Amino acid sequence: MTLRQKLLLVALCTLALPVAGWLYVRQMETLLREGQAQALVASARAMARSLVVVDAPLPPAGPAWYVQPSNVPITIDGYGDDWAPLSPWAQPLGQHARLMLAEDSHWLYFYVDVRAGQRRRADAGDRLALTADHLIVSIASGDDAQRYLLASAAPGPTTAIALDPEAGVLPDRINAQWQEDGGGFHVEFRLPRGLRLDHFGVGVHLAADGDPEPLTADNRPLLDFSPALSQELSRLAPDGVRVRVVSPDGWLMAQSGKLALPDQPLAERPGWFASLIYRSLVATRLDDAGAWAEDVPRIDLPEVRRALEGKPSTAWRVGEARGSVVLAAAMPVTIRGKLHGVVLLEQPSRAVPLLANRALFGLLIVSFGVLLVAGGVLLLFATRLTFRLRRLRNAAERAQDNDGRLDGPFPLTDATDELGDLARSFARLFEVVGGYTDYLRTLASKLSHELNTPLAIVKSSLDNLDHAGLPAEAEPYLARARDGVARLGALVRAMSEASRMERAIAAAEAEDVDLAEIVRGCADGYRVLAGGRRIDTSLPDEPIRMHVSPELMAQALDKLFDNAVSFTPADGWLRVTLSPTPDGADITLANQGPSLPAAMQGRLFDSLVSLRDKATPGEAPHLGLGLYVVRLVAERHQGSASACNIEGGVAFTLHLKGMARQRLA
């Protein structure tokens, strides 16, 4: 990973700013909602107290039977087809039955569905009716009350017989329909609205249950939607708030108001994207609006249940209009410690989502702007830092290619930061390395000059000893001394030759020649010297014209050939290759032999470096100057020399660009 990539990764830490802002906006939205909820709870509490003060027709405390309005006529036939729209809100009646009540402008309808696996049948007029499956129906209107026995020995029409004489205006018989199926029976009947019933009870007595308590019914008040209570709510309800009153059983008793939002210009209304952002990123919790439908007769919600327990509660849900929310507050209504219902206030609003979205978008814009600026500044800083480091690296690499000698002032040495300290340390290091390299370069010429005089003295002394007539036992020692002097003289001459070669290479003149002809001529001459070794050539068909020194090219090839032959077996192979490059040409001489050590591949072309074994007596010494001369020739032609291992041998390559052309003054 580069330095710029690392700094950009560090710049991503600034993403904590928009995340913190997002959390702050959520907290702010929560606080706004809490404030609005407290205000609506206060309104609901005031509404509940006002209903008690004005003596509004509130539902009675305790359980009751709820009568639903019927939008279609109901046919009394004992079947539940007409009751299908009302069946989701059927009221439980004991463990085995359920009850539904409906009304229209003339009649009050009753439908009882009883589930019984075993049946015992008898008519209401039969003396065994109380021991069979039967219903006890109780109705009351003011002070008048009556009970009826309802039973049937077979499906079809039946009559409920009154059990209490002198019941006033209440009828003594009720016509009903009794139908059965595989799982139980259904009873359906109706009573006129003119009876003004206010209580109703029904008891289910099944013979399979044993000895049930006879002639009992679950009497409860009858409740229905109250227009009078709704009118009272309309006078007390605030604008833009829908108010509903539910009974202690959760039945809707009255309703007033609509979920109306204030008029707002179309351009200022939130779009679908803003609504999505609010619901997914900002809103802490929003309930589904399905359970809060306006047309349901019973409101069974957690907030209503908590209010029925005497605890005010609030809830937020998604509004019907785009980008809106609805706040609901449920407040219990109590009179002298008895719960008479719950007041439910619902208030739509676009203010909270709008403020939260504006805060979030503004914060995100500022945060991402800061992120872009910080990222840009860090990128510029990383680019400048990378550029300075690359200058240091390039200067160090140039010094390495130039044997540790600097080709100019080291960059960044005048900087006052840590990179300046590093650059000054590198500059001092390369000055020391360059001085040591220069010393090694001139060591051979210095040694050859300093050794000539003592070597001549030793040689003349040996000649004088030879004429002095030494005894025979001293002759071997004299011969060894002469041999050592000869080898030492060869070393001095080699070092002198290397010094002269450096000066000759520096003073060589170039001309435009065909490099392919030079390589071909040298390769043909090497065949005679190679003995049994095979020499292959790979030369281009087209001439390669370059501005080079032919003598230096021949000397470099001679040094490479001499080095390759010394390591090639007697029956091995050598291969000479010339190939053009975009800026010059490459000459490669490969030979069969041992591979180069990995640590020596970059030092072979240095002065006084050799991989040959120690020379045997009578053999010319090797000072490691041959490949050094090859490198000097390559550098004189603005190129370089390299060596690498190949399959079965080693390859030495001269990368040439040609000598610079001299301009006449």
Instruction: Please tell me which of 201-215, 379-393, 618-632 the model is most confident about, judged by mean pLDDT.
Output: 379-393
The pLDDT value recorded for residue 615 is 47
Q: What's the rounded Cα separation, in Å, for the pair 326 and 324?
A: 7
CA count, 13 A, side-chain hemisphere, 455: 17
Closest CA to 441 of 579, 162, 629: 629
Amino acid symbol at 510? A
Q: How confident is the model at residue 635 (pLDDT cuts 50, 70, 90)?
A: confident
Could you tell me which residues come within 8 angstroms of residue 352 by beta carbon, excluding any fewer than 6 positions away?
29, 32, 33, 36, 325
Q: What's the rounded Cα separation, in Å, for the pair 344 and 233?
A: 11
What's phi and psi for 159, nearest 5 deg? -130, 130
Please tell me the least confidently modeled range out of 547-551, 557-561, 646-650, 660-664: 660-664
- Contact by Cβ (8 Å): 398, 409: no
Q: Mean per-residue pLDDT for 98-126?
A: 92
- Contact by Cβ (8 Å): 515, 578: yes
Q: How far apart are the first and last CA of the chain?
A: 52
How long, in residues, is the chain? Answer: 665
Place of tokens 């209440």: 170
Tell me: pLDDT of 34 over 90.
no
Give the C-alpha distances (Å, rounded to integers) separating 647 from 120, 590, 594.
107, 10, 10
Tell me: pLDDT of 520 over 60.
yes
CB atoms within 10 A of CB 580: 14
Q: What's the rounded Cα separation, in Å, for the pair 60 and 78?
A: 31
Q: How confident is the model at residue 283 (pLDDT cuts 50, 70, 90)?
A: low
Q: How confident is the model at residue 45 (pLDDT cuts 50, 70, 90)?
A: very high
Pairing of strands 338-349, 242-246: antiparallel
Closest CA to 632 of 662, 661, 650, 654: 654
Tell me: pLDDT of 665 over 60.
no
The pLDDT value recorded for residue 618 is 47
Q: What's the rounded Cα separation, in Å, for the pair 331 and 340?
A: 11
Q: Mean per-residue pLDDT for 264-279?
A: 57
Q: What's the rounded Cα separation, in Å, for the pair 555 and 113?
A: 120
* % of the chain beyond a pLDDT of 90: 31
Tell me: pLDDT of 355 over 60.
yes
The pLDDT value recorded for residue 616 is 47
H/E element holding 109? strand 107-115
The pLDDT value recorded for residue 277 is 61
- Contact by Cβ (8 Å): 80, 186: yes
- Contact by Cβ (8 Å): 357, 274: yes
- Contact by Cβ (8 Å): 218, 202: yes
- pLDDT tens figures, 432-444: 887 777 777 677 6
Tell me: pLDDT of 213 over 70.
no
- Contact by Cβ (8 Å): 230, 242: no
0.75 cut: is pTM over it? no
Could you tell me which residues come within 8 angstroms of residue 168 by beta carbon, excluding any fewer than 6 positions away?
141, 143, 144
The pLDDT value recorded for residue 157 is 94
Of 367 and 211, more confident: 367
Tell me: pLDDT of 51 over 80.
yes
Q: Mean per-residue pLDDT for 47-71?
A: 91
- pLDDT tens figures, 147-177: 999 999 999 999 999 988 776 778 889 999 9
Q: Which two tokens stand for residue 547?
A: 């501005």
Helix ranges (DSSP H) in 54-146: none
Q: What's the rounded Cα separation, in Å, for the pair 246 and 641?
A: 100
Over its C-alpha atoms, the chain yields an Rg (Å, rounded) of: 57
- Contact by Cβ (8 Å): 214, 153: no
Q: Mean per-residue pLDDT for 295-315?
A: 88
CA count, 13 A, side-chain hemisphere, 424: 9
- pLDDT tens figures, 471-516: 877 778 778 887 887 877 777 776 666 666 777 777 788 888 999 9
Q: Mean per-residue pLDDT for 72-95?
A: 90
Please tell me the least confidently modeled range out of 23-37, 115-129, 594-608: 594-608
Q: What's the rounded Cα separation, in Å, for the pair 96 and 120?
A: 16
3-state secondary structure of 170: coil
Tell me: pLDDT of 109 over 90.
yes
- pLDDT tens figures, 369-396: 877 887 788 788 888 888 888 888 888 8
Closest CA to 578 of 534, 540, 618, 621: 540
What's phi and psi for 624, nearest 5 deg? 75, 30
Q: Which two tokens stand for residue 349?
A: 């609003």
What's phi and psi for 336, nearest 5 deg? 55, 45
What's phi and psi for 343, nearest 5 deg? -95, 125
CB atoms within 10 A of CB 611: 16
- Contact by Cβ (8 Å): 51, 335: no
Maximum separation of any 2 CA atoms in the chain, in Å: 179
Q: Mean per-residue pLDDT for 386-414?
A: 78
Q: How confident is the model at residue 245 (pLDDT cuts 50, 70, 90)?
A: very high
Tell me: pLDDT of 415 over 90.
no
| CA quadruple 562, 568, 570, 571: dihedral, nearest 10 | -130
Of 262 and 353, more confident: 353
User: Interior CA angle at 412 toward 408 and 417, to 5°?
Assistant: 160
Q: Give all strands (DSSP E) within 308-429, no chain letters.
A: 313-318, 325-335, 338-349
The pLDDT value recorded for residue 16 is 75
Give the C-alpha distances (Å, rounded to integers) separating 413 from 277, 388, 426, 455.
55, 11, 9, 48
H/E element holding 548? strand 545-548
